Structure 1
Amino acid sequence: MSALPPRTGQQFSISHGDYTAVIAQLGATLRVFRYQGDDVTVSTGPDDVVTCCVGRVLVPFPNRLEHGSYDFDGAHYQLPINEPERDNAIHGFGMNYYWQLERLTEDSVTLSWRVPLTEGYPFSLQVFITYTLSNSGMRIDCDAVNNGDGPAPWAMAVHPWFSNGEDAHGNAIDAVTSRCSVQIPANTHVLTNGNLIPTGTEPVDGTKFDFRTAALLDRQPYDDALTDLTHAADGTVTAVFTRPDGRQVAIIGDESITSFQVCTGTGFPEAIHPTGVAVEPQTAYANTFRTGIDLIEIAPGDTAHTTIRYQVLQ
């Protein structure tokens, strides 16, 4: 009897120059991303249970959906609750499926996922994710194609935890995080209730959420969306994560990125606490299926496209 493949399915290794990556078939997850052999993002093993959505693609919606229910185009829908302690659906469900290999080269891989027919999301989408390495780092292209005869609600994000560069454990992870910094050109902080569902917004001025200039993450905890982004003339928006040893990583989104979620995992149990900081580029923040804020409606036959890049600056 032949050995079973890893629980995360096929493993697709790509490389270019100083960069290497491994993408797992389950969830099209970025399992490993390294520069000169050093972890840029927190790595997971091929048989590890992924905690805190490390490396996940969050489709067809990111973050939380209150009660898992929403109305769209005159109909009401109910999705499974996968965050029961807060009565939320969270981070979509594309991460729970094995994606199909479309193309693999030395420095690029494309995977696809046909959204299954479900009562809670009966829209006929096919989603393609392409990971490409170059001298500029990692590029992620996401295309969601609507093959149905009506509009489809859509939002997406990726969930990288950027490595803090130290082999810390337990509470020491939070101490290392306090010496990390982020810079995000966001003018607005999203307020939330106890279930982390948005209740409004506030200017970042004078708050611990003002990262328009680089600031340390020494006022934890953070699990917050920052929006009203300042995009460059070419339509891109760039956040920068800096770890204690000085390594910097740029997280660059195209014009479809409207917010960044920053999560430090402060106080998480050691068994599930990634040794880094999540800086998540999103096309919409939490509850978009209910609020319509930054919601993308894909018309029949149309495609929603997003490009995200990770580049080591130093």
Structure 2
Amino acid sequence: MDEPIPATGRQFEITYGTARAVVTEVGAALRAFEVDGVPYSETYDADERPPGGAGAVLIPWPNRVADGRWILEGDPQQLALTEPDKHNAIHGLLRHVPWTVTEHAEGIVVLHAMVPVQPGWPVPLLTSIGYSLDADGLTVTHTVENLGSRAVPFGVGVHPYPRAGNAETDDCTVRLAASSVLPVDSERLLPARPSRALEGDELDLRSGRRLGGVVLDTAFGGASPRPDDPEQLVRHSVTDSSGHGVEVWADPVFGWVQVFTASEFPGRGRAVAIEPMTCPPDALNSGTGLITLPPGEGWTARWGLRPVG
């Protein structure tokens, strides 16, 4: 009798030297990333659902859509309410479906999935995600192709939980390359007011803040590269007291980042998610940060995890 398949499907391991990552078949999620046996992302058992959306790929929108409703060229759309307690559609359409592996070698795995026409989503998309390891760490490459006959707006996000090795989360410092924050209501976590600049604000994390006592489920905007950055990448990080940790880098199109502090990540306790996003919560209604893809055209962008210190 064949071994039972775990809840997250088959597990695809990739390696480069002492670096190792594991990607799941269901949701194409990042389940582990480590170097020299030191963990740089939170992990979980293959036979449990990803806690707190850990490692999830958020396509064709990240975060929330109020009431699951939006309008495409005058046509009302109604998505399934996948966050029923808040009456929202959350985190896209591909978190719980199996992806198809099209390439799997020692240091790379590439998976594809289709966003088919369905209630609330009238344009088919083909998307892929490639995870690759090299001497610099983990690089994740997204592509999206419009297979339909009309243009469609979309967004992309991811949900990693970076960690600074074995340091306790509350002893670590988080830094964000974000210059604004989007206030949300406390009940449904939907935008309540326009974004505000972070100059002089206690939520300004550009210079770093110790995570002890910090509670966030917050969307930050204005994420951009430093002017002197030779790679022109957006850079966030979680580091321990010695400066050792992990950088979450992204192409500039990921101009938003959601930060979520989990109080009870299994086997870990406190953990922090740093989620690069191309658009903010409820973007299918506000239009902010959406990428519009004409028929037959494609889009690609990258982000990754890199040990630092």
Specify if TM > 0.5: yes
User: Residue 211 in 1 paired to residue 209 in 2?
Assistant: no
User: Residue 251 in 1 paired to residue 244 in 2?
Assistant: no
Normalising by structure 1, we get a TM-score of: 0.91
Q: Which of 185, 201, 204 does residue 177 from structure 2 map onto?
A: 185
Given that 1:208 and 1:219 are in contact with CA atoms closer than 8 Å, whether structure 2 keeps it comes out as no
Summarize the alignment of residues 67-106 of structure 1 with structure 2, pairs less than 5 Å apart.
Answer: 67-106=67-106
5+ residue gaps, structure 1, are 168-175
Within 2, Cα distance between the matches of 1:245 and 1:116? Answer: 47
The structural deviation recorded for 1:270 is: 6.3
Distance 1:243 1:83, change over 3 A: farther
How many aligned positions are there?
A: 304
Within 2, Cα distance between the matches of 1:269 and 1:164? Answer: 17
Within 2, Cα distance between the matches of 1:13 and 1:311? Answer: 18
Normalising by structure 2, we get a TM-score of: 0.93
Summarize the alignment of residues 231-242 of structure 1 with structure 2, pairs less than 5 Å apart.
Answer: 231-232=225-226, 234-242=231-239
Secondary structure in structure 2 of the residue aligned to 1:111 = strand
What do the CA deviations read for 1:120-159 (whole angstroms, capped 9, x no partner)? Answer: 1121100000000000000000000001110122101110
User: Residue 129 in 1 paired to residue 129 in 2?
Assistant: yes
Distance 1:204 1:219, change over 3 A: farther
Summarize the alignment of residues 157-168 of structure 1 with structure 2, pairs less than 5 Å apart.
Answer: 157-163=157-163, 165-166=165-166
User: Residue 145 in 1 paired to residue 145 in 2?
Assistant: yes
Q: Which of 266, 272, 276 does residue 277 from structure 1 map onto?
A: 272
Residue 312 of structure 1 aligns with an amino acid whose one-letter code is P
Q: Which of 194, 197, 203 does residue 190 from structure 2 map onto?
A: 197
Percent of counterpart pairs with the same letter?
Answer: 28
What do the CA deviations read for 1:235-287 (whole angstroms, capped 9, x no partner)? Answer: 4211111135643211111121111111112xx45669764210111111111
Within 1, Cα distance between the matches of 2:269 and 2:286? Answer: 31
Given that 2:40 and 2:245 are in contact with CA atoms closer than 8 Å, whether structure 1 keeps it comes out as no
The structural deviation recorded for 1:212 is: 1.4
Within 2, Cα distance between the matches of 1:232 and 1:149? Answer: 39
Given that 1:51 and 1:272 are in contact with CA atoms closer than 8 Å, whether structure 2 keeps it comes out as no
Within 1, Cα distance between the matches of 2:127 and 2:198? Answer: 34
Q: Which segments of structure 1 move beyond 3 Å, counting only runs of 4 or more?
A: 164-167, 232-235, 243-246, 268-275
